[in-house]
Structure 1
Amino acid sequence: MVGQEKRKRDGETTVLRHAQFVRMIRALLLLCFGLCVVCGSSKPTEKKSRVHEEEPLSRLQHDDKKNYDYDHEAFLGQDQAKAFEHLPPEESKRRLGSIIVNKMDRNKDGFISEEELKDWIKSAQKKHVYDSVEHQWKDFDVNGDGLISWEEYRNVTYGSYLEGPQTDTEYNYDQMMSRDERRFRVADTNGDLMADKHEFSAFLHPEDHQHMKDIVVQETMEDIDKNGDGFIDLKEYIGDMYTSDGEEEEPEWVASERQQFSEFRDKNNDGKMDKEETLDWILPSDYDHAEAEAKHLMHEADANQDGKLTKSEILNKYETFVGSQVTDFGEALLRHDEF
């Protein structure tokens, strides 16, 4: 009985994560998988946003006159940048040249193009996404065949509900299961209802995958479009972020959001947002941080200005790409030989 109750609770929290846009409840629960979200039941006084803006490549100040710490975190990711700080110059250069550069050179032509450099930076920044997929993989790949079928995902996530459907729950599990299946099918690019790790990543983190953008917009509009007309009007837009109880004065940010809706969200000034306008709102694409950093690193290291980098050019400017501080070579190798 205890095991059944635990499985039921685990299933409910997992559902809430994967149906991340569902606003059936005021707040989400803390996932048992370690994915943190906020829970609460009071009227929000601070702005709650659906916008999936790109996280900065680093929280550090980008000032190469002082140091290259920003570039290190952008190029390696925060965790690996810290690891490289403890390496001596010899080992730092060795790993940069023999491991990283070789991995960046996808077409094996002996050069690193700006596009390859940008893709490497994006990959380093998305490591937390890969880690979350790895962390959850074993829970859903029940038969251990290296794939997660829709049936496996459904049974693990909704197992307790499928065994004994309940009508007195505050969650509409049939609707949530239907939305999950629809998203799973979109993520499943080859249509076999079996997700490999790339497809499962698209399912868990649809906002990070180009072919999933339509489903992100669709789910968002379904959540906010209360009158079902296929658009998001101003009342629905504000109501998704703020609900007045008539007793407290409206926060200033609400008035600001009304202005944002009129001046920027509703681009054709028809009083509502369609799918394209909703896409521009929740998945803005104004600035590509990885592309900007790739151009910067290319400018710093491309000695002959031919628009591509050789391994020698990168190693000659290794301090721009990776950090290095310690001098105890042997100790550093023992601590960080896992890279």
Structure 2
Amino acid sequence: MSVPQLLLCLSLSMLCISSKPTEKKDRVHHDPQLSDKVHDDAQNFDYDHDAFLGADEAKTFDQLTPEESKERLGKIVSKIDEDKDGFVTVEELRDWIKFAQKRWIYEDVERQWKGHDLNEDGLISWEEYKNATYGYILDDPDPDDGFNYKQMMMRDERRFKMADKDGDLTATKEEFTAFLHPEEYNYMKDIVVQETMEDIDKNGDGFIDLEEYIGDMYSRDGDADEPEWVKTEREQFAEFRDKNHDGRMDPTETRDWILPSDYDHAEAEARHLLYESDRDKDGKLSKEEIVEKYDLFVGSQATDFGEALVRHDEF
């Protein structure tokens, strides 16, 4: 990973994906984005696996035999069943899915905390973060890669100060989490919108027009014809993104695009999983019903390497 890529990982992950002519870049943030897989059960259950387990844990299950998958799934079910009544409800399944999706955030914060709390006092000051992240780079005023690190540092400082609720330029663990993952905190969402608009609004007029919107997702690179999904995005912009139909998105419309609040994807996925697995149609799932549909929830793959590839730590 190059130095620019490494530093960009500290910013919103959706803002860091490089586009290719035939690939779509999605700026919609974490809660709606349960998986980057296509949700098409007619083809496979990859989306469901990522949603139920989290993407990293889903990869672990790919190496398990069916028997191992069922055994570990049974242990997970016991944790999902919060009231211990022997059944999993939509609400319990929804809460588990949200937990699985947020788990990687906490793990990311823990990793980065260790690298930035230089004096190990349980706090991270802006100076500590700046020195650990940018110190050696800023010693070179003209880096060979031509990347504008000073501009990135200024953006980080602005975001750090917003995350720092008490204004002492020192972040607690919670404030540091808000700095690294602002889309997870209501009081940080304005900075998410601001940074997104700064990235996409190339002419600096304070709005995102259609070509800027498309240009953020797709680069023609000499292609004569646009992919079908680009045409669909043009229609989406006109019909849904640009709500007042003035040909551009203002900050409010941009917020509705990247941080939608009118649809709970975790609950929708929970209802989907229950519908597909509720054999007796009583509106809840027994452990037996879930384990019977293990391929939907977690999947498995017997490999030639067998258990040597399997991580045996429990949830």
TM-score higher than 0.5? yes
Tell me which residue corresponds to 2:291: 318
1:118-267 alignment runs, 5 A limit: 118-162=94-138, 164=139, 166=141, 170-188=146-164, 193-196=170-173, 199-207=175-183, 209-238=185-214, 240=216, 251-252=225-226, 258-267=234-243
Q: CA deviation at 1:304?
A: 8.3
Supply the distance in 1 between the matched residues of 2:39 and 2:218 (Cα, whole angstroms). Answer: 33
SS in 2 for 1:270: coil
Return closer, same or farther for 1:148/1:168 CA change in 2, 3 Å cut-off.
closer
Per the alignment, residue 104 of structure 1 pairs with 80
- Helix, strand or coil for the counterpart of 2:239? helix
Shift of 1:154: 1.3
Q: CA deviation at 1:174?
A: 3.6
Partners of 1:142 and 1:152 within 8 A in 2: yes
* CA–CA separation in structure 2 for the residues paired with 1:120 and 1:325: 20
Q: Report the counterpart of residue 75 of structure 1 in structure 2.
A: 52
Q: Residue 270 of structure 2 aligns to which amino acid in structure 1?
A: A
Task: Using the TM superposition, give the Cα deviation of residue 159 of structure 1 relative to its aligned residue in structure 2, in angstroms.
Answer: 0.7
- The within-5 A match list for 1:260-279 is 260-279=236-255
Kept in 1, the 8 Å contact 2:182–2:188? The answer is yes
Q: Secondary structure at the residue paired with 2:129?
A: helix
Q: Which whole-Å CA distance do the structure 2 matches of 1:334 and 1:46 have between them?
A: 34
Q: Give the superposition deviation at 1:57.
A: 7.8
Q: Does 1:17 align with 2:9?
A: yes
Q: Distance in 2 between matches of 1:82 and 1:22?
A: 25
The alpha carbon displacement at 1:185 in A equals 3.6
Aligned equivalents of 1:336, 1:21: Cα separation in 2: 27
In the alignment, does 2:41 pair up with 1:62? Answer: yes
Alpha-carbon distance between aligned partners in 2 of 1:270 and 1:16, rounded to the nearest angstrom: 33
| 1:150–1:181 contact (8 Å) kept in structure 2 | yes
CA contact (8 A) 2:39 2:48 kept: no
Q: Which moved more, 1:105-114 or 1:225-234?
A: 105-114
SS of residue paired to 1:121:
helix
Q: Quick check: which has more Rg, 1 or 2?
A: 1
Distance 1:76 1:252 in 2: 35
Q: 1:88: how far off?
A: 5.1
TM-score, structure 1 as length reference: 0.64
What is residue 6 of structure 1 aligned with on the other side? none
What RMSD, in angstroms, separates the aligned Cα atoms of the two structures?
4.7
How many residue pairs get matched?
297
Equivalent pair of 2:11/2:180 in contact (CA under 8 Å): no
State the shift of 1:233 in Å: 2.9
Confirm or deny: 8 A CA contact 1:73 1:81 kept in the other structure.
no
Q: 1:45 to 1:85 in 2, by over 3 A?
A: closer
Counterpart of 1:291, as a letter, is E
Matching residue within 39, 45, 65 for 1:85: 65
In 2, Cα distance between the equivalents of 1:45 and 1:240?
Answer: 11
**Corresponding letter in the other structure for 1:252:** E
The one-letter amino acid paired with 1:220 is T
Q: Which amino acid aligns with 1:154?
A: K
1:149-169 deviations in whole A, cap 9, x for unaligned? 43322111111255x362688
2: CA distance between counterparts of 1:336 and 1:175?
41
Higher relative contact order (CA 8 A, sep 6+): 2
1: CA distance, partners of 2:36 / 2:220: 37
Q: TM-score, normalised by structure 2?
A: 0.67
Superposed CA deviations along residues 274-325 of structure 1, whole A, max 9, x for unmatched, are 11211233345675443223124445359683x666xxx3245432356698
8 Å contact from structure 1 (residues 202, 212) kept in 2: yes
Contact 2:220 2:226 in 1 (8 A): no
Residue aligned with 1:183, SS: helix
**Corresponding letter in the other structure for 1:62:** D
Residues 187 and 199 of structure 1 are in contact (CA less than 8 Å); yes or no, is this contact kept in structure 2? yes
The CA distance in 2 between the partners of 1:244 and 1:318, in whole Å, is: 46
Q: Is the 8 A contact 1:19 1:176 kept in 2?
A: no
**Contact 1:57–1:74 (8 Å) recurs in 2:** no
d(CA) in 1 for partners of 2:44, 2:143: 59
